[in-house]
Copies of this chain bind each other. A is one copy, B any other.
């Protein structure tokens, strides 16, 4: 494991401090319990969006706090979901009376901790659960699918509606809709190391890739020999399309997400290869996002997310946003 760090114990704290200092115009960081809010208070009557999850997926979620997106984020330890006291403290700070939407990725740890926070809260609240990872079979008898990169899309779009005055119910409904309209799948070339562990989460051969990998380096569908970018991209899209079933001429958002250690050049190359596939299927790339947004520490890997768009979603995708990691229109 090679990392810029001092001690595993201080890794998260120092990183948060640096984040807070570098973006003090956008965010405030609080410690013990750890949470991040916008630098300026939530305006009265605006539904507050709170997300959170284990650390190691930066810029998600702290980098997505700001105008037009989250009101607060609760970072857990690396790959460990945050705890109810963090969410309660964050909610206390940002709830302006209109209620709180929790955006939760579907992992039992995240679900249970957010659930406990919701139960302990006095004010009105609702949760949007993301489960866009088509690598995992969906079933009502199991935990179901993992929430991965589409969470970023949910946060952008619900954030926009909340900013525009949407009610708690409307925000919850829109969040569920975006999630339902999205499918993702990832592939990893290298592993990642939790600072406290000091060694890779999984072993992977020099000629191997993990197809369908999770954002904590959880095993995916299968271990394959490395294939060409075009083959990998085609297979990812096939799996997503099988699930999402976009229509011909349907407009979509194509989101090529790096897992932390993937250079932009390769992400754009994947974007190009994905466009080849989608063009052939007459699926229209109407919006795009390329970058390392929902990461797994220093993992070299990529995920593709498709979100089926309609007028409402496009409007909220395009609206102004000002966070550390996503910014346009202001």
Which residues of chain B are near A189, meaning CB under 8 Å? Answer: 2-4
Q: List chain B residues, Cβ under 8 A from A230.
A: 6
A268 and B300 in contact, given A189-B2, A206-B2 (Cβ under 8 angstroms): no
Contact B5 A285 (CB under 8 A): no
Q: How far is the CA of A256 from the CA of B19 in the complex (A)?
A: 11
Contact B228–A5 (Cβ < 8 Å): yes
B269 touches A21 (CB 8 A): no
Provide the residues of chain B in CB contact with A282, threshold 8 Å.
none
Given A22-B268, A265-B15, A328-B327, decide whether A298 and B295 contact each other with a Cβ distance below 8 A: no
CA distance A55 to B261 in the complex (A): 17
Report the minimum CB–CB distance from A294 to chain B (whole Å): 12
- Known A-B contacts A189-B2, A272-B14; the reply to A298 vs B264 at CB < 8 A is no
A1-33 contact mask (Cβ, 8 Å, vs B): 1 or 0: 011111000010011111101110000000000
Chain B residues contacting A206 (CB-CB under 8 Å) are 2
Range of interface residues on chain A?
Answer: 35 or more
Shortest Cβ distance from A301 into chain B, in angstroms? Answer: 9
Q: Does A224 contact B (CB under 8 A)?
A: no
B190-A6 in contact (CB<8A): no
Q: How far is the CA of A18 from the CA of B268 in the complex (A)?
A: 5
> How many Å lie between the Cα of A70 and that of B189 in the bound state?
34
Query: Measured between C-beta atoms, what is the minimum distance from A70 to chain B in Å?
Result: 16
Q: Is A317 an interface residue (CB 8 A)?
A: no
Contact A262 B298 (CB under 8 A): yes
Q: Determine whether A290 belongs to the interface, using a CB cutoff of 8 Å to chain B.
A: yes
Is the CB–CB distance between B290 and A22 below 8 Å? Answer: yes
Residues of A251-296 at the interface with B, using a CB-CB cut-off of 8 Å, are 254, 256, 260-273, 275, 285, 288-290, 292, 295
A–B pairs, 6, beta carbons within 8 Å: A4-B232, A6-B269, A11-B265, A14-B229, A18-B272, A63-B264
